[in-house]
């Protein structure tokens, strides 16, 4: 019988927990709350219930339910919330984490395996958390002759670039982090940074497998960037704008994929190549060059690159949805918020709870989020699916596909869009 902790005593365990709780409470009361108060004096506070929220009243929302929701709503309009939580990083990271789990489980089912099984009671649902803890607790090993500054910076830059891409995606009407007039051009500018980071990371590792993988990634990304840009121009021609929110809003009656199916197919194929997914996973071909440009990354550096990869996957799928599938438009499926809760409150036996500040989101926004997430999840499913079906493509076939076939098809798509525009059927001032 193995004994993990031979000197374990329950009483000492409880005592240590109580000790920790005591010290945490003491430090929070003596340092934490005053520090929060000091910071609050420098922040512009919102007006709640017709009264300016001063730092003295800032913590009253914990005890006063009539202030809770208005303060949360005021917080939700800030830039910090948008960047960190809802249309930005947190939302995307949540979807990305879901994608990782679904990918592993779905691939296993496609290949008649079991997949993640033991972590968590139901079908290995906690596998992702376990993997994350493992990656965080692992030692980061840097190769001896690596170029340390670039090697350290590359994973962080990768995640930051992917997050910048995510920031441009409109999730619901009015819910976008950066609503730029030149949103699509900003997407092209940001996509251009990925090959730089990849090749720098690969070169800095000073090892041959990462370098081969990095050069393959560079070839692949640069040659597929051109059909990617060209395939999106059809929607721009028909919409007359580069703003992603306006492109999404312009598809309220029909999505552009009906008129631009060739552009959608070209964009989907280039998307697979930009994401280095099977059948275009030459940069990470694990049976040839270990793990490609990720070979020397260890611990949380690898975890960051993986997070960035799946954020990028979400962002590309969302871009496909915004440009070809109508974004947040769709049939109104979300039920309206019950009026009597706003007017009368919730009755709980003898008590009636009045909750001011409801509803938090309007029905249109909630329905937009639902439509967007449903479509994005569908596109992500189709991005994952080839991994269980196709083998890896040869490099000369890959470059041939990118430079000859896809660019030609993208031009065909542009001419279809131009024809529809000049025939007066679609676009600004068209029949439909």
Should residue 189 be labelled a site residue for other proteins when binding is judged by CB under 8 A?
yes
Q: Per CB under 8 A, which region of 122-130, 193-201, 379-387, 405-413 contacts other proteins? A: 193-201
Choosing from 71, 191, 282, 384, the residue that interacts with other proteins (CB under 8 A) is 191
| Residue numbers 306-365 binding other proteins by CB under 8 A | none
- Separation CA 258–CA 325 (nearest Å): 9
CB of 221 to other proteins, least distance (A): 9
CA angle 333, 336, 337 (to 5 degrees): 140
Site membership for other proteins, residue 421 (CB under 8 A): no
User: Which of 149/331 has CB closer to other proteins?
Assistant: 149
Side-chain-side CA neighbours of 385 within 13 Å: the count stands at 8
> Which residue, 319, 315, 332, is CA-closest to 371?
332
CB nearer to other proteins: give 95 or 186: 186
Q: In the 3-class helix/strand/coil scheme, how is 212-244 assigned residue by residue?
A: HHHHHHHHHHHHHHHHHHHHHHHHHHHHCCCCH
Number of Cα atoms under 13 Å in the Cβ half of residue 169: 31
Shortest distance, position 196 Cβ to other proteins, whole Å: 6
Q: How many CB atoms lie within 10 A of CB 16?
A: 10
Shortest separation between residue 297's beta carbon and other proteins, angstroms: 19
Confirm or reject binding of residue 147 to other proteins (CB under 8 A). yes
In angstroms, give the least distance from the CB of 180 to other proteins: 7
Eight-class DSSP state of 170? -
Does residue 143 belong to the site contacting other proteins (CB under 8 A)? no
Residue 244 or residue 384: which is nearer to other proteins going by CB? 244
Residue 417, interface with other proteins (CB under 8 A)?
A: no
Question: Binding to other proteins (CB under 8 A): which residues in 58-117?
Answer: none
Q: Which of 59, 136, 182, 353 binds other proteins (CB under 8 A)?
A: 182
- C-beta of 173: minimal distance to other proteins in Å? 23
In the complex, the smallest distance separating the C-beta of residue 320 from other proteins, rounded to whole angstroms, is 20
Is 193 a binder of other proteins (CB under 8 A)?
Answer: yes
User: At closest approach, how far in Å is the CB of 77 from other proteins?
Assistant: 22
36 interacts with other proteins by CB under 8 A: no
Q: Among residues 212 and 321, whose Cβ is nearest to other proteins?
A: 212
Of 77-85, 95-103, 195-203, 325-333, which part binds other proteins (CB under 8 A)?
195-203
Structure token pair of residue 420: 């529809």
Per 3-state DSSP, the chain is made up of helix, strand and coil in percentages (nearest 5) of: 65, 5, 35
Selected range binding other proteins among 8-16, 177-185, 335-343, 416-424, rule: CB under 8 A: 177-185
Per the CB < 8 A criterion, the answer to whether 375 and 323 are in contact is no
188 near other proteins, rule: CB under 8 A: yes
> By CB under 8 A, how many residues form the interface with other proteins?
23
Is the Cα torsion angle 120, 125, 129, 130 positive or negative in sign?
positive
Phi and psi dihedrals of 94, rounded to 5? Answer: -65, -50
Question: Measured over all CA atoms, what is the biggest interatomic distance in the chain, rounded to whole angstroms?
Answer: 84
Reading the block at residue 387, the tokens are 């991994």
Least Cβ distance, residue 203 to other proteins (angstroms):
5
Q: For the window 110-139, what string marks contact with other proteins as x by the rule CB under 8 A?
A: ------------------------------
Task: Tell me the closest approach of the beta carbon of residue 321 to other proteins, in angstroms.
Answer: 22
Concatenated DSSP letters of 334-391: SPPPPHHHHHT-EEETTEEE--TT--SS-HHHHHHHHHHHHHHHHHHHHHHGGGGT--
**One residue of 36, 185, 353, 423 binding other proteins per CB under 8 A:** 185
- Give 272's contacts (C-beta < 8 A, 6+ positions apart): 279, 280, 383, 386
* Stretch of 64-72, 82-90, 184-192, 404-412 lying at the interface with other proteins (CB under 8 A): 184-192
CB 204 within 8 A of CB 150: yes
Which parts of 63-146 fold into alpha helices (H)? 65-76, 79-84, 89-110, 127-137
**Smallest separation (angstroms) from other proteins to the CB of 74:** 24
What is the spatial distance between Cα 125 and Cα 288, in angstroms, rounded to a whole number?
A: 31
- Among residues 284, 256, 190, the alpha carbon closest in space to that of 229 is found at 190
Q: Which of residues 197-236 bind other proteins (CB under 8 A)?
A: 199-200, 203, 211, 215, 218, 222, 225
Residue closer to other proteins (CB basis): 177 or 300: 177
Footprint of other proteins on this chain (CB under 8 A)? 147, 150, 180-182, 185-186, 188-189, 191-193, 195-196, 199-200, 203, 211, 215, 218, 222, 225, 396
């Amino acid at each position: 019988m193995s004994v993990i902790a031979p000197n374990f005593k329950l009483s000492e365990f409880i005592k240590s927990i109580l000790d920790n709780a005591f010290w945490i409470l003491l430090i929070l009361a003596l340092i934490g709350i005053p520090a929060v108060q000091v910071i609050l004096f420098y922040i512009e506070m919102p007006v709640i219930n017709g009264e300016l929220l001063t730092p003295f009243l800032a913590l009253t929302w914990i005890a006063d339910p009539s202030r809770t929701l208005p303060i949360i709503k005021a917080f939700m309009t800030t830039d910090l919330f948008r960047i960190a939580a809802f249309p930005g990083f947190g939302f995307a990271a949540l979807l990305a984490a879901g994608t990782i789990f679904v990918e592993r489980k779905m691939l296993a089912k496609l290949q008649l395996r079991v997949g993640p099984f033991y972590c968590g009671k139901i079908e290995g649902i906690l596998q992702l958390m376990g993997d994350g803890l493992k990656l965080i607790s692992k030692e980061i090993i840097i190769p001896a002759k690596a170029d340390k500054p670039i090697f350290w910076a590359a994973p962080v830059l990768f995640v930051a670039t992917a997050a910048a891409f995510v920031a441009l995606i409109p999730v619901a009407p009015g819910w976008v982090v950066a609503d730029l007039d030149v949103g699509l051009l900003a997407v092209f500018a940001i996509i251009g940074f990925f090959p730089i980071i990849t090749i720098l990371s690969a070169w800095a590792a000073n090892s041959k497998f990462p370098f081969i993988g990095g050069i393959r990634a560079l070839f692949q990304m640069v040659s597929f960037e051109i059909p990617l840009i060209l395939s999106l121009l059809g929607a721009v021609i028909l919409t007359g704008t580069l703003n992603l929110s306006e492109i999404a809003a312009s598809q309220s009656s029909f999505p552009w994929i009906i008129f631009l199916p060739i552009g959608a197919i070209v964009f989907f194929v280039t998307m697979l190549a930009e994401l280095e997914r099977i059948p275009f996973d030459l940069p990470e071909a694990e049976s040839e060059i270990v793990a490609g440009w990720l070979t020397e990354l260890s611990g949380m550096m690898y975890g960051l690159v993986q997070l960035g990869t799946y954020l990028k996957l979400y962002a590309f799928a969302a871009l496909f949805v915004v440009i070809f599938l109508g974004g947040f438009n769709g049939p109104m499926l979300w039920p309206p918020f019950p009026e009597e809760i706003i007017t009368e409150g919730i009755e709980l036996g003898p008590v009636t709870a009045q909750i001011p500040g409801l509803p938090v989101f309007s029905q249109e926004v909630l329905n937009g989020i639902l439509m967007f997430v449903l479509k994005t999840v569908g596109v992500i499913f189709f991005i994952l699916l080839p991994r269980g079906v196709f083998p890896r493509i040869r490099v000369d076939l890959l470059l041939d596909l990118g430079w000859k076939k896809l660019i030609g098809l993208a031009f065909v798509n542009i001419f279809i869009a131009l024809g529809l525009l000049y025939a007066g059927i679609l676009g600004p001032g068209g029949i439909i």
